[in-house]
């Protein structure tokens, strides 16, 4: 039985900042989550054409901003002028795409922890993984050495991004994201030196899968659980963390369900 690494992260993680009630992956979403008492966040990070790291979920800009086309083909100057809030409502007009650096400052100032999903623009897995790892080392190093923060957890659906992150900064904790299970999924996580897997919660139908992964030394987290009864069940099965959109009330509801 492998040993589980210490786990410095809260078990509740707000998805895309707290990006269901505020524009996803913006500082406004992080502020919204903080106002509701959330202390741990997932966000999606990609690389601009000129090498800046910023938050965005999709490859393209049109769903969550007033821009169009592939975000990763633009320089940061152009990206920084976009409105990433108005699509969610007039109250958020003018909210910009944030750089990873701004999110790092926000979280470090509050003692909040981060799960950075490396979300490469198609075809840029390795360079994005490498850039995220080097930036995270730079931004968090002092706080980690002073014991003020754990490292962010780096996760990705793209093994190549995690492999590149590992080469650039092997000390950073990594997690493989899995939306489906293949015969070699666990072996893959192991080969990438992961401390955790982050699974689509629908892949879990009982306590066995969680217990087996933990016996192999892997923490088990899931996305995206918005139903309190489901979250309660998963925690009762020994789950290490839940990524959720339901930031307004799910934690209280799950507490109320506790036996
Ligand atoms: O990191 C977990 C979750 O965010 C993965 O799905 O599409 O919301 O990035 P997605
Ligand atoms: Mg994500």
Interval 20-45: pLDDT, tens: 999 999 999 999 999 999 999 999 99
How many residues make up the chain in this entry? 259
pLDDT in tens, 97-149: 999 999 999 999 999 999 999 999 999 999 999 999 999 999 999 999 999 99
pLDDT of 5 reads 84
Query: In angstroms, what is the span from residue 259 Cα to ligand 1's centroid?
Result: 30
Cβ(13)–Cβ(240) below 8 Å: no
pLDDT in tens, 178-233: 999 999 999 999 999 999 999 999 999 999 999 999 999 999 999 999 999 999 99
pLDDT of 242 reads 98
Cβ(140)–Cβ(105) below 8 Å: no
Average pLDDT in the chain: 97
Q: What percent of the chain has pLDDT over 70?
A: 99
Residue 32 annotated to the active site:
no
Residue 162 has pLDDT above 80, yes or no: yes
With a Cβ cut-off of 6 Å, ligand 1 is lined by 15, 42, 44, 57, 117, 155, 177, 198, 223, 243
What are the CA-CA distances from residue 213 to residues 61, 105, 198 (Å)?
37, 33, 11
pLDDT of 258 reads 82
Domain 17-168 has CATH 1.20.272.10: no
The atom number, within ligand 1, closest to the CA of 115 reads 1
Fold matches, 17-168 and 173-259: yes
Of 13, 29, 44, the residue with max ligand 1 atoms within 8 A of its CB, to mutate for a pocket test, comes to 44
Query: In angstroms, what is the span from residue 126 Cα to ligand 2's centroid?
Result: 18
Judged by its nearest atom, the ligand closest to the C-alpha of residue 245 is 1
For the chain, give every domain's residue range. 17-168, 173-259
What mean pLDDT is predicted for residues 39-68? 98
Q: How many CB atoms lie within 10 A of CB 109?
A: 9
Q: What are phi and psi of 156, to 5 degrees?
A: -165, 150
Of 12, 55, 56, 117, the residue with max ligand 1 atoms within 8 A of its CB, to mutate for a pocket test, comes to 117
Residue 112 annotated to the active site:
no
Q: Of 114, 117, 101, which is closest to residue 34 (Cα–Cα)?
A: 114
What are the CA-CA distances from residue 80 to residues 67, 105, 186, 233 (Å)?
11, 17, 39, 42
Give the CATH H-level superfamily of domain 173-259: Phosphatidylinositol (PI) phosphodiesterase (3.20.20.190)
Q: ipTM higher than 0.95?
A: yes
Query: In angstroms, what is the span from residue 43 Cα to ligand 1's centroid?
Result: 8
- Round to whole Å and give the CA distance between 127 and 90: 36
Residue 1 has pLDDT above 80, yes or no: no
Report the predicted TM-score, pTM, of the whole model to 2 decimal places: 0.98
pLDDT of 177 reads 99
């Amino acid at each position: 039985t492998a040993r589980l690494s210490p786990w410095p992260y809260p078990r509740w993680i707000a998805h895309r900042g707290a990006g269901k009630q505020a524009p996803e992956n913006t500082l406004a979403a992080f502020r919204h989550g903080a106002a509701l008492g959330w202390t741990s966040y997932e966000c999606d990070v990609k690389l601009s054409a000129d090498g800046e790291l910023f938050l965005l979920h999709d490859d393209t800009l049109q769903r969550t901003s007033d821009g169009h086309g592939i975000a990763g083909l633009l320089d940061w100057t152009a990206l920084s002028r976009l409105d990433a809030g108005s699509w969610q409502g007039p109250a958020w007009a003018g909210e910009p795409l944030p750089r990873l650096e701004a999110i790092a400052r926000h979280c470090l100032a509050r003692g909040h922890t981060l799960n950075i999903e490396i979300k490469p623009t198609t075809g840029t897995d390795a360079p994005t993984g490498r850039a995220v790892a080097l930036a995270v080392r730079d931004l968090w190093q002092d706080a980690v050495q002073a014991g003020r923060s754990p490292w962010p957890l780096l996760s990705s659906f793209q093994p190549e991004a995690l492999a590149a992150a590992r080469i650039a900064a092997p000390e950073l904790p990594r997690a493989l994201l899995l939306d489906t299970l293949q015969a070699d999924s666990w072996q893959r996580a192991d080969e990438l030196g992961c401390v955790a897997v982050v699974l689509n919660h629908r892949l879990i139908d009982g306590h066995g899968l969680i217990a087996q992964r933990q016996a192999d030394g892997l923490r088990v987290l899931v996305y995206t659980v918005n139903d309190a009864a489901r979250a309660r069940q998963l925690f009762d099965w020994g789950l290490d963390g839940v990524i959720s959109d339901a930031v307004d009330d799910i934690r209280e509801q799950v507490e109320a369900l506790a036996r």
